[in-house]
Amino acid sequence: MTDSTVGKAWSLRQSEFEIAPCNVAHISIENIATPGVLRVPIDPPRCAAVSIPFELCAPKTQKFTFRPVAPLPVDQFNHVAEIAVRLPRPTRESSESTSPRTRIGVPADVVKLEERMFYLLQPDLETMLETCRLEFPRKPFPFQFEGIAFLLPRLGAILADEMGLGKSMQAISSIRLLIRSKEARRVLVVCPKGLVTNWKKELEDWAPEILVAIVEGPIERRRWQWSLNVPVTVANYEVLVRDRELLTELGLSFDLVVLDEAQRIKNLSSQTNHAVCNLIRKRSWALTGTPVENSSEDLVGIFNFVAPGQINSEMSPRAMGMAATDHVLRRTKDRVLKDLPPRMNRDERIELLPEQRETYRLAEEEGILRLSSMGKEATIRHVFELVLRLKQICNFDTATGSSAKLERLSSELEEVASSGRKALVFSQWVEVLKKLSGKLSRFGALEYHGGMSTKNRDATIERFRNDPKCSVLLLSYGAGAVGLNLQFSQYVFLFDRWWNPAVEDQAINRAHRIGAVGAVTVTRFLTVDTIEERIDEVLSRKRALFETILSCAEGPQSGGLTQEELFALFNLHTPRTITEAA
């Protein structure tokens, strides 16, 4: 948050950014029940119905004669309520338009009759938005309305939509409704450092009326920023970890905490997980396209923030999926975006150059002999060292600097540049990006990685977007695979493979997302008869766990590279003493 913006925040009177209630009568059910759940008091459409205060007089009704029936057993009410909540209510708008209306469903953990009735009496989401006079810069998709309706009533929720479906927009729109209804006065958004600027822009776009504070800079400045009384505060994970004691000292609490790229807290023992879970809050929402990256433990770590104790690592994938169902909403592009431009995948199998092949052969033979001679002393670290060395040789020959991948990439980029299009190239090593940058300078290649400052990274994206001479953006998986909107790019190249397919999908979806200007072609480089082909076979199996948990279907218990799989890459026997997972 800039000084000028902060000054603006202090100069504004409270009445200038609090929305006055609509000046029409509304139904009050406070005297019927007082459930301890989310309430969004919304006025009905002006001419849709006559509002009658329940405590003053009884409503006038016509009389009908019904046959006597047995009372509905209490244990059957939940089933009936769930059916009723899906039935559309007639409104003036629905009678004039055939577009579907979105209902706010009853969360499964709401069991009291009066609380369930509260949700059943709520108007549809479109009516709520119209009554609150919330405007959008672009019309949301129907599935995005469903995402908002999913988040609003839940104290703990995971929005796990596939990358590119607008998770941040759905969260921001839900935040707007909570703030308008005064159900939330202080919201904290936590995201990776590289995405702070992106969140600032998204909030300006989708919620321009909301004042936002960005927490950054030295400790004295951060103390002041944390103390600002603004509706929304944005901080990165590293700042949150550093300021744990400061937050306790200030006694800060939040009505809602939203985690973006929530897989950052998947490790239960990490400082990041502890810092996030120690926040005093009423609601906990997590946004992530990859709630399960390596194993079911990932989801347990996120649920430790969203709904502690709801799932545990002892559960089978099916049981875990069933327990998580009401807290997780997952949609994929192929199911909800029928008009999204197609994504074309192709595996480009490349033969190593002769000198590369010889260097690779010698390195593999020496490495396997060393591991074999170590016997039971061999550890997973030793195997990783060999894997990394061989992967690097597949990119560039360490002896001569030659690269079969580079030759193929250069040929592909000639066509991309000549057609005036843009391409993204991903690698797991910054060193590789720097080599590619020098070799591909004729294409106006730009670098984007964690070694750059946030300011320089933002400037790089703007230049790549607007400079027609810059046809190629070279990104590291760590910095470039999350949060960026690069849908103006039509080509994605995976120069080398990451350890799990979820991160690769994140990288690809920087371009293949809402707003994509055309078909996106994804090319994955694989060198023939090398460690890359063997790893690819393992990666193809790692997707199973993710789908198993989210679809509540039985499947393999682990999606990560286990010790057995790592040693099997070189046909080595796994020492019995090694039991940890990679």
Q: What is the CATH number of the domain that holds 308?
A: 3.40.50.10810
Alpha-carbon radius of gyration of the chain: 27
Q: What pLDDT sits at residue 82?
A: 41
Mean pLDDT of 39-51: 44
Task: Provide the token pair at 384.
Answer: 């990783």
Mean pLDDT of 252-256: 96
Q: Which residue has the higher pLDDT, 543 or 525?
A: 525
Mean pLDDT of 362-370: 91
Mean pLDDT of 358-367: 93
Mean pLDDT of 241-255: 95
Q: What pLDDT sits at residue 26?
A: 41
Mean pLDDT of 123-151: 83
Strand boundaries in 261-352, DSSP class E: 280-287, 328-329, 343-350
Among 311, 336, 361, identify where a domain stops.
336
532-534-538 Cα angle (round to 5): 110
Residues 197 and 312 in one domain: yes
Q: What pLDDT sits at residue 499?
A: 73
pLDDT in tens, 193-202: 878 888 998 9
Among 278, 309, 336, identify where a domain stops.
336
Residues 138 and 155 in one domain: yes
Q: 19-33, 411-425, 496-510: which range is least confident on average?
A: 19-33
Q: Which residue has the higher pLDDT, 29 or 120?
A: 120
SS3 232: strand
Residues 141 and 15 in one domain: yes
Residues 488 and 458 in one domain: yes
Mean pLDDT of 387-395: 93
28 is a domain residue: no
Q: At 476, phi and psi to the nearest 5?
A: -85, 150
Q: 71-85, 239-253, 302-316, 490-504: which range is least confident on average?
A: 71-85
User: In the chain, how many domains are there?
Assistant: 2
Mean pLDDT of 236-249: 95
487-478-364 Cα angle (round to 5): 120
Residues 258 and 178 in one domain: yes
Q: What pLDDT sits at residue 163?
A: 72
209 is a domain residue: yes
571 is a domain residue: no
554 is a domain residue: no
Contact predicate 258/175, CB 8 Å: yes
68 is a domain residue: no
Residues 150 and 220 in one domain: yes
Q: At 259, phi and psi to the nearest 5?
A: -105, 120
Among 276, 311, 336, identify where a domain stops.
336
Query: pLDDT category, 566, cuts 50, 70, 90?
Result: low
185-189-195 Cα angle (round to 5): 150
Look at strands 156-159 and 328-329 and give their pairing: parallel
Residues 236 and 311 in one domain: yes
Mean pLDDT of 367-382: 84
Task: Provide the token pair at 371.
Answer: 């591991």
Task: Provide the token pair at 366.
Answer: 């020496």
Evaluate if residue 578 carries a pLDDT over 60.
no
514 is a domain residue: yes
Cα torsion angle, 141, 142, 143, 146, sign? positive
- State which amino acid sits at residue 479: A
pLDDT in tens, 394-424: 999 999 999 999 999 998 899 888 888 899 9
- State which amino acid sits at residue 99: S
Residues 202 and 238 in one domain: yes
- State which amino acid sits at residue 525: F
The answer, as to whether pTM is greater than 0.85, is no
Query: How is residue 19 annotated by DSSP?
Result: P
| Dist CA 582 CA 571 (whole Å) | 17
Task: Determine what percent of the chain is predicted with pLDDT higher than 70.
Answer: 74
Residues 283 and 358 in one domain: no
Q: What is the CATH number of the domain that holds 355?
A: 3.40.50.300
Residues 229 and 348 in one domain: no
| Dist CA 481 CA 473 (whole Å) | 12
103 is a domain residue: no
Evaluate if residue 94 carries a pLDDT over 70.
no
| 419: containing domain | 343-532
Q: What pLDDT sits at residue 50?
A: 41
Residues 410 and 315 in one domain: no
Q: Which residue has the higher pLDDT, 376 or 57?
A: 376
Residues 372 and 392 in one domain: yes
69 is a domain residue: no
